[in-house]
Structure formats: C-alpha cells, structure tokens
Structure 1
C-alpha cells in the first residue's frame, strides 16, 4: 500500500512538471563587455548641482509649480457639490464637536489656556486645507505632542506676565537658566515651539526628507506613544484629585511625581474626586457600551466628550463648585481670535533644539495616518508636500497662540467614517469652531479641570492597548520587541525626548542587523540546471570541481572591504595576505589553494567603491601566486561602472561575467584548453 502511494506521488510530481514550459537557451559564453556591446549599454551621465539647476530652470512651468505647491488648486475645481458636499458637511460638523473637548483638554495638557487648543482647530486646519495632500486627516491637537510641548514649557516658561491670568496661578515658575534674564510666559514658549517646528519641517521639505519617517519603525512609534501615555496619565493626577504636586524634571521624574502624589492623597478634594470618578465612569460607559450600539443605528458618533464638557460646565455653574467646593476651574477664556504676534527671537533660538523632536514625531504620526487613508481610498499623498503643509501650518499657528499641530487618529477616523471626502470637511469644522470662539467660548470658563482630565485619561485607552502588540513584535522579530522595550522604558523612566533618541538608536541598530550587516555563502550547482544555490541550505547541491563560488550580500566599501577579504579567505581556503595585513608576521606559510578558480558573486552587492576595487586587486594578486584565477560575476550597472572606473585608474584588471554559469563554463573551457 505504501509503495502504491509512493508511485502515485511520483506520478503526480511528474505530471506537475510536465505542465511547465521548457527553459532552453543556446548561446556562447558571454563576458560583461560582451553584454555591454550586445545590449547597447550607455553609462548614465550624472549631472552636477549646477547642471541640475539649469535643467530645472529650463523646464520650469509656473502653472505646474503653483499646482504642486498649492494642491487645493488642482482638486477644488473638480469638486462636486452633489457628490462630495453632503459627506463633507456631516464629517465637518462631527469633527468640530470632537475638536471642542479635545482642544480644551490638550491645551491644558500643554500648559496653556484651553483657548489655544481651540485655535488649533481653526488656523492650522485652514493652512493645511490649502497645502496638504491628504483628504481625510484631521489636523489639530494630539496628546503626545501636547505632552512634549509641556516639557518645553516647563523648561523655559515662567508665566510672570501670562496672557491668561487665571491660568498663571496654577503654573510653577521655572527660569530658563541662571544667566537668562528674560521671563517668558507659557503661551510665548508654546508659540515659539510651534514656530520653530514649522521652520524645521519646511527645511526638511526643502531637502526632500519626507522619507525620514521610515526611520521611525512601528515598534518605536508604538513603544514611544505607549510610554508617553504614562506621562500624560501621571500629569493629570493633580487635577483628578484636586491637589498640588511639585514638578520634577529629568530622569525618573514619573517615579518622583508618584512618590509625591501618594502622601498628598489624604489632602485630596473630595468633590473633585467624585467629579473625576463620575466623568471617567460616564466616558467608559459611553465608549464601551452606548457608542458601539449607536453606531449600528446612526453613522454620526455619540458626542460623549462634548456631553461631558457641557454637563460638567452646567453642574459647576449651578452648584458653584469653584467658590464653595474649591474645585479648580478652567478659568478665563478670551472671546474672539488672538492678534498675530511673532514669538521672541531669543526664545526661538532657545527652543530650536527641543522642537526638532516634536517636528519629527508630529510629522511621522501625520504621514502615517495620511498614507493609511490614501491606500484605503486609492489616492496619492506626497510626503515632502505634507512636510511643507505642516510647516506652514505651524508657522501660522505660532503667530496665533497655537500648539505644534499633528493628526489625531480618532478625529481622522471619524472624518472618514462619517462621509468626509475632501478637506472641505476641515473647513466646515473650522468655521464652526470660529463661531464658538467668537460667541460661545466664555461659557466654558466654569468647566472643572477634572472633567477635562477625566476625558484625557479615558482617551488614552487606545494608546495603552498598543502594548498588546509587543507579543506580535516578538513573534515577528525579537529585535523588534527589543526596540519597543528600550523605547518604552527610556520614555517612562528618563524622559520623552531622551526615550525617542534611545528608541531611534535601537531602531537604527535593528536596521543594521537586518539589512546593512553583510552576509556570505558558498554556492554549489543543482545538477543540469545552471542554477547555483547556498550549499549550507541545499543538501542536494554540489560543489563544482576545482571552483569555489563565493556569494557576498551587502555593500563593499572602505568600511567593509577588510571584512569582505577575511570572509573570502575563510570560506574558499586560507592563503597568506600581503605582509601589511599580517602586521609584519612573515612566519605564515603560503598554502596552495586546491581550487583553480574563485568566482565572486556580486549579484547581491548594492554598492562598491574604490576601496572595494583595491581589495579585489589585492585578492586577485594573492590568488595568482597560488595559480588560482578570480572572476567577478553578476554585477549591476552601478557596480560595472565602478569596476571600469577602477580599471581606468589602473587599480586592477578584472574578469567580469554577467552570470555565475558564464564564469563556470569559461573557466572549464580555459582549463580544458590548457590540458
């Protein structure tokens, strides 16, 4: 019975291969120069900077330039009032409802007035409408960015002459440095930070650094935002319990803050705790129970945050919580729009370094969200244009009391799910926020701060649940989980920006381990195929007689040339290098290699330089001493150009073949002729 099954499997295998086409090629053995001649190869001329400028000026088209610079000019004329406007109106109204509580909450989180968070839903949003390329993201406040901004505020802000008096009493003064005479309010620090973020992002756009976000891997961003959620939670403890907690800066500040919070718990304001508990319970019930059920009946999400804010304001006004129960209130919220004002020049220089991390993180989150929606809705997003749009949004926002902007995942999802088709939805949202700023904003002055803190803490659930992804990262690659752990640990224990730096270094190390670190293998032939595979992983492959085939994976340059030589000597058989490499050790005995040819497979080499070509020449010379020839095979055009350039400079003369099989057949023919 087993024999019958075996015969059946063999027949099935034969039948499977009989359906494949026959691969039959009958040609002469070709060298690389033959390929260049037959293929009509022409080396690409690399234009210098001056030539590129001339070419750009010659091909300059003012219309295309404006259409690319201001994308709204390209899509707005095609806007359909019938098909697009209804969805944009519904999405804009819904997002505006979300902007109100989130803007106020994250404004306070950044250390400034809630009105600054509301301004974020107006000024940056309109600028992004003009210059952005994503149709669905919602620009404005984000908890992580507000937290990173708060760190800068705590470093440079004094609030000696703040623009919001009622807010100043809750902020502990902190001088910039011992030698700094100027005192800057929190709002000045925030606007300076936003302005410098904009400058950094515009410079990044100018230098075409839109792909920079690729360096921030998913585990890094995941660990960073999860760690930042811990910071946000700890920062809200004082408002949730109605107590004063000293500020700490530097390493282990979260631990120090918790140690200061625990003894203060008996001094908590009971009314504040009850209010906080009710808000958190209300938000949990709404988010986990009522919202999912309502979403099945109506596409408009239940405005739980807005209900909590309006309800908290009404209760505070009716029960007079501020004066009678000593509950901390939001305080003064100015009516109308702020006047444009440039941040102090000295302060811009002071926050320039701190704003780099904020600029990169905000862009990374924004472009990630933009690419997700672009892929889902099948349209194009231009990363460098996104940098320009964000930079201009931040510069304009920095002149109108705004925090550095980013993209909110929750608002963007709602904008897309409620029918939003273009950034007209953001314009609708902006004008609704404008109405609130002009006529309704003072209504929220009686809002207890603990209500906003409760909303913030509940909103962090999504960031905390990201930690569950650690298991997936570990399954995909252990070094990915290491990146998450290092980033999260450094963010929580040290600080947000330091944690980002440690995470970035770990991520770069992971890239090196997975992609930049070179690998090598010895190849053998699969009989009667002309195909050469790794001998270590293919047990039916055989080594070609008198030939060693060495495959190198990675770049060969000045930093890796020596390791390339060591790997080659180790794998093909030891031969004494020149005396300079032996550092004067002349006791080595020259050993004649058994193979008569060494073929170096360059098909997996991305780049070589002059140091690599010198290494090839030295190896070739060493091999000739032992009557062994060396062939290079499978180089791409870039490598061929480098090899020819080296030959032109008399670095060496190399035998180059397009494939391994060409080199094998050439050597076998040459060896037969010499017999």
Structure 2
C-alpha cells in the first residue's frame, strides 16, 4: 500500500450576523460595479457633440471655412477634377468591363459622400485605374465573351446580356469589398500605413501607370478585345499578345488615338509651363472629348472606318438594387485583394498629403466610409469607388 496523502481544511464558522455582513459587502461591490458601468456608458452633451464632429468633420470645418482665401481656389479645383472625371470615368468603366455610364456614377457618389465624412483636404475619392483593371480581370474571366456568342455566328457577341451579367458581378464585388473594408476599419487596421513609405507609394503608382498603359494599347491600335486572365507575368503576356496581333491594327483607330495623344501631351506641357499665369488649366480632356465626338458623328467613323465608339449613355440615375448574393462565393478572394489594395492606397495618400500640410486624418474612418458608399450608390455604380483619382 502506498503512502496516503493527508489533507487538512479549515473553514471559519460564520454566525448569522457575520453572514449578513458578507452579503451586504457583496451587494456594495455589485453597486459599485453598476455605478462605474453607468458612468462609462453615459453620454453627456459634450461627448455626443465630440462624437458627432468626429463622424461628420464637415460640421467642424464648414463654419470656420475661410471664404475669401479658399473659395476661388476650391472652385477652380472642383472644376478641374470634374472636367477630368468625365472622360476618366468613362474610360475606367471600360477598363472594368462594364458599360461606360457606371463610370459616371462612380465619379459622382464617392466625391459627394466624402465631402461630408472625409477628413483629408487633398484627395478625391473616385475611380482608380488599378482597381478598375483588377475588377476588369475578374469580369472578363468569370463572364467571358465566349459565353454570349450569338447562335450561328461565332464572331458576334450579345453585348446586352454580357453587360448585364458583368454589372451584376461588379455590383456583388463592390458590396463584398465594402464589407471587407468596413471590417478593416472596425479592427483599426489603419496602423498598416506605418509600413507604407513614400518611395513605396511612388513605386506602386509608377507600376500602376505601366499596367494602365499596357492595358490601353489594344484600344489605341483598335485590336479585337481578348479576355485577359489575372496571373503572374500577365503584363508580359499582354505585350506578347499585342505583338502577335499587331497586323490586325485598325488604321482609323490608330490615327484618332495618335492625334488625341499629341493634343493632350502638348496642351499639358503648356499648362505646366504657364500655370502661374493661368487661373484655370485649359481643359484639354473635355475639349478633345467634345471635338472627337462631333467628328465621329459627322464623318461616321464607326461605320466608315470601324472606329469603336462608346455608344448610348442613358441620362439620369437608375434605381438601387440588391446585388446577387449567390455570386459572392466566386469572388471572395478577389474582393479581399481589392479591398486591401484600395484601403492601403487611400490611407497612404491621405497620410502623405496630411503630413505635408500639417493636419491629421483618421485612417480607419476612411475605411468605414465604404458603408456609406454601399448605401448611396445605385446598383453597380460604386464598382470603382475605392480609390483616389
């Protein structure tokens, strides 16, 4: 038999009076805890005002807005951004693989909402080329042209059905991206900006410019569009594909593109050299858009020379609709990648401008604004909202 361990337990004997005292001490502790909890959750008038100003920064800066010093410059800036957003929104919607009018929706709603809730004074939340390309790669891979070929003709595509399917996909992706960014804001993911240095942002911007340029080459040469899958070295594959099909170049499209590029670069250089003498840069983007539209209509470039046109752009706003939930499972990975890219770029640029101009921005609130964009943008109008123009 092994040694048995012996235990000795002592408990004090409580009389009725002692037991009542212990109970009263416990009740006092509970009351103290409840009192502390009430103080923590109590919302005074000053706390409510501070919270409101934190969520709606426009209520803080608008009453103190220096009209004489800033109004003229802000009007000029607004006109410049608006003129640029018109052709840019149309182009970025085409990059995303959806009808051009959705680029106009994306150019309007984010800027309008950000003016109430945003804290950065120098960024314009709207269409962004890299995000448009990322969305375009998803729409072209999941909703390819091959699925909408007309029966009996393998060269014609039912563009109406294809565009409808792509808009539904882009709307579902926008909803999912917005939810991811709301979560990033709630978990205070803004600390990531600490690791995003200015050289990193400049390198990212340069790489994005190269990707956008390569993606537009097929439109400049008027080559038939081919579905481009998102994969490693896709940029190199795109250049190889362009070189293989260069003999299919549409001369009319190439001439129009070269003339437009020459005009844009020439006037941009003049604006840069004469910016101190000009109150407003010459809106060459809008002028080129108007003139080219008039020439295309008058000469009938589409029918006579095969130059592709944007087509009909409906007026007004469409009614909001709920995206198809059954599409979310197919795009969750792409949506998370887009959310991360948009989040990082937006807060890094906002921080960079804030540091240069000596003010602060709340990175996490910028992410939470995506909830507002989801609720205010009709249908897939927010497909490109994530980013800075």
Residue in 2 aligned with 1:212?
Answer: 192
Residue in 2 aligned with 1:371?
Answer: 351
Question: More displaced, 266-275 or 353-362?
Answer: 353-362
Residue in 2 aligned with 1:57?
Answer: 41
Residue in 1 aligned with 2:298?
Answer: 318
The whole-number CA distance in structure 1 between the counterparts of 2:349 and 2:338 is 17
Q: Does the 8 Å contact 1:195/1:399 carry over to 2? A: no
Residue in 2 aligned with 1:340?
Answer: 320
TM-score normalised to structure 2 length: 0.79
Matches within 5 A, 1:80-159: 80-157=66-143
Residue in 1 aligned with 2:275?
Answer: 295
Residue in 1 aligned with 2:222?
Answer: 242
CA 1:245–1:95 in structure 2 vs 1: closer, same or farther (change >3 Å)?
Answer: closer
For residue 254 of structure 1, report the CA deviation from its aligned partner.
Answer: 3.1
For residue 105 of structure 1, report the CA deviation from its aligned partner.
Answer: 1.3
Residue aligned with 2:330, SS: helix
Q: Does the 8 Å contact 1:142/1:405 carry over to 2? A: yes
Residue in 1 aligned with 2:240?
Answer: 259
1:286 and 2:267 aligned: yes
Residue aligned with 1:120, SS: helix
For residue 205 of structure 1, report the CA deviation from its aligned partner.
Answer: 1.3
Q: Deviations over 1:567-617 (max 9, x none)?
A: xxxxxxxxxxxxxxxxxxxxxxxxxxxxxxxxxxxxxxxxxxxxxxxxxxx
Q: Does the 8 Å contact 1:245/1:261 carry over to 2? A: no
The whole-number CA distance in structure 1 between the counterparts of 2:320 and 2:357 is 37
For residue 253 of structure 1, report the CA deviation from its aligned partner.
Answer: 3.1
CA 1:248–1:379 in structure 2 vs 1: closer, same or farther (change >3 Å)?
Answer: closer
Residue in 2 aligned with 1:523?
Answer: none
Considering fraction of residues, name the structure with more helix. Answer: 2
Q: Deviations over 1:438-486 (max 9, x none)?
A: xxxxxxxxxxxxxxxxxxxxxxxxxxxxxxxxxxxxxxxxxxxxxxxxx
For residue 117 of structure 1, report the CA deviation from its aligned partner.
Answer: 1.4
1:69 and 2:46 aligned: no
Q: Does the 8 Å contact 2:125/2:385 carry over to 1? A: yes
For residue 140 of structure 1, report the CA deviation from its aligned partner.
Answer: 0.9
For residue 373 of structure 1, report the CA deviation from its aligned partner.
Answer: 2.8
CA 1:231–1:373 in structure 2 vs 1: closer, same or farther (change >3 Å)?
Answer: closer
Question: More displaced, 390-399 or 317-326?
Answer: 390-399
Residue in 2 aligned with 1:271?
Answer: 252
For residue 132 of structure 1, report the CA deviation from its aligned partner.
Answer: 0.9
Structure 2 unmatched ranges of 5 or more:
1-33, 149-155
Q: Deviations over 1:287-333 (max 9, x none)?
A: 23x11233131131121211221121111111110111111111121
CA 1:51–1:194 in structure 2 vs 1: closer, same or farther (change >3 Å)?
Answer: farther
CA 1:227–1:378 in structure 2 vs 1: closer, same or farther (change >3 Å)?
Answer: closer
Structure 1 unmatched ranges of 5 or more:
1-49, 162-167, 175-182, 410-675
For residue 59 of structure 1, report the CA deviation from its aligned partner.
Answer: 5.7
The whole-number CA distance in structure 1 between the counterparts of 2:352 and 2:114 is 18
Q: Does the 8 Å contact 1:194/1:398 carry over to 2? A: no
Q: Does the 8 Å contact 1:199/1:395 carry over to 2? A: no
CA 1:51–1:204 in structure 2 vs 1: closer, same or farther (change >3 Å)?
Answer: farther
The whole-number CA distance in structure 1 between the counterparts of 2:37 and 2:340 is 29
Matches within 5 A, 1:479-490: none
The whole-number CA distance in structure 2 between the counterparts of 1:217 and 1:380 is 17
For residue 366 of structure 1, report the CA deviation from its aligned partner.
Answer: 1.9
Q: Deviations over 1:372-419 (max 9, x none)?
A: 33233332211111221244325533635222324446xxxxxxxxxx
Q: Deviations over 1:150-192 (max 9, x none)?
A: 122123335779xxxxxx9497999xxxxxxxx9711122222
CA 1:53–1:155 in structure 2 vs 1: closer, same or farther (change >3 Å)?
Answer: farther
The whole-number CA distance in structure 1 between the counterparts of 2:215 and 2:37 is 51
CA 1:94–1:228 in structure 2 vs 1: closer, same or farther (change >3 Å)?
Answer: closer
Q: Does the 8 Å contact 2:201/2:348 carry over to 1? A: no
Q: Does the 8 Å contact 2:139/2:169 carry over to 1? A: yes
Q: Does the 8 Å contact 1:195/1:397 carry over to 2? A: no
Residue aligned with 1:122, SS: helix
Question: More displaced, 255-264 or 216-225?
Answer: 216-225
Matches within 5 A, 1:606-617: none
Q: Deviations over 1:243-287 (max 9, x none)?
A: 214324223433333333223222211111111111122222122
TM-score normalised to structure 1 length: 0.47
Considering fraction of residues, name the structure with more strand. Answer: 1
How many residue pairs get matched?
345
The structure whose RCO (Cα within 8 Å, separation 6+) is larger is: 2
